[in-house]
Amino acid sequence: MRELKPVFATIDARDKLLEAALSAFAELGFHGATVRDITLRAGVSQGLLTHHFGDKERLWNLVGERVSEDFLEHLGPALQVEHIDAETIPSILAAYMGYWRTHPSALRLQIWRVLGAPEAERRARIERLNRRIVPVFVRAQEAGFIRCDVPAGQAMVTAGSVIQYRLHSQLEMQDAVGVTGDAVPADEAFLRYVFSLIAARADDRRR
């Protein structure tokens, strides 16, 4: 199943190479994936990859840019709100989980980004996403929906980290929850719990 949205007029070798690169990078990381492996997955020659993208690092950067673009497009409706209300942040968290759950290769790429990859792409991604998402958390904090004893960016990172852990560490979570005989909660209940970690407390609302 394709995860990256095609951007060219027709699905040509460039889109195939980007999708193959996502697959290879998700499985092997930047350092483990090779140009030969990527071109074999795409069914094209190594010369064609060099012609279109130059080298592996340029391809990594482009794949990262595409993932970030698709991610922001997925979150767009939840982020583009005129008025902040009690459902704004829960809607963003639900969209956040929805994207990563339906894009498993992108989630694995995200993990490889953290474990070690060209830093320039990682910094560009962080700055781009934070500029779009953190201001909404700031507005929610100012409106009294996010706790005020932590920076808005920290609240965002806390919620996102817990959600990602649930998705990429399902075995660990199932075992930890199962020790007491409980079942892992459904997504809706889990997201309510995540929001409770960053939601404004009673004393916040009195200020």
- What is the distance, to the nearest Å, from the Cα of residue 32 to the centroid of all Cα atoms in its chain? 21
Question: Are the C-beta atoms of 113 and 122 separated by less than 8 Å?
Answer: yes
Question: Are the C-beta atoms of 206 and 198 separated by less than 8 Å?
Answer: no
Confidence check: pLDDT of 107 > 60: yes
Q: Residue 74 corresponds to which tokens in the numbers above? A: 């997925």
Confidence of residue 38 (pLDDT cuts 50, 70, 90): very high
Q: Which residue has the higher pLDDT, 12 or 81?
A: 81
What are the beta bridge partners of residue 146?
Answer: 199
Domain boundaries, given as residue ranges, for the chain? 65-205
Confidence of residue 199 (pLDDT cuts 50, 70, 90): very high
Closest CA to 20 of 91, 109, 101: 109
Q: How far apart are CA 146 and CA 1, in angstroms?
A: 37
pLDDT digits (tens, 9 = 90+) for 108-140: 998 898 887 778 888 888 898 999 999 999 999
Cα distances (angstroms) measured from residue 103 to each of 12, 120, 142, 197: 21, 23, 32, 25
Confidence of residue 6 (pLDDT cuts 50, 70, 90): low
Q: Could you tell me the maximum CA-CA distance found in the chain, to the nearest angstrom?
A: 65
Region of 135 on the Ramachandran plot (φ > 0 left; ψ -120 to 50 alpha; else beta): alpha
The pLDDT of residue 81 is 86
pLDDT digits (tens, 9 = 90+) for 133-183: 999 999 999 999 999 999 999 999 999 999 999 999 999 999 999 999 999
The pLDDT of residue 151 is 96
Q: What is the CATH number of domain 65-205?
A: 1.10.357.10
What phi and psi values does residue 82 have, to the nearest 5 degrees? Answer: -80, -40
Helix, strand, coil shares of the chain, percent, nearest 5, are: 75, 0, 25
The pLDDT of residue 206 is 46
Q: What is the percent of the chain with per-residue pLDDT over 70, rounded to a whole number?
A: 93
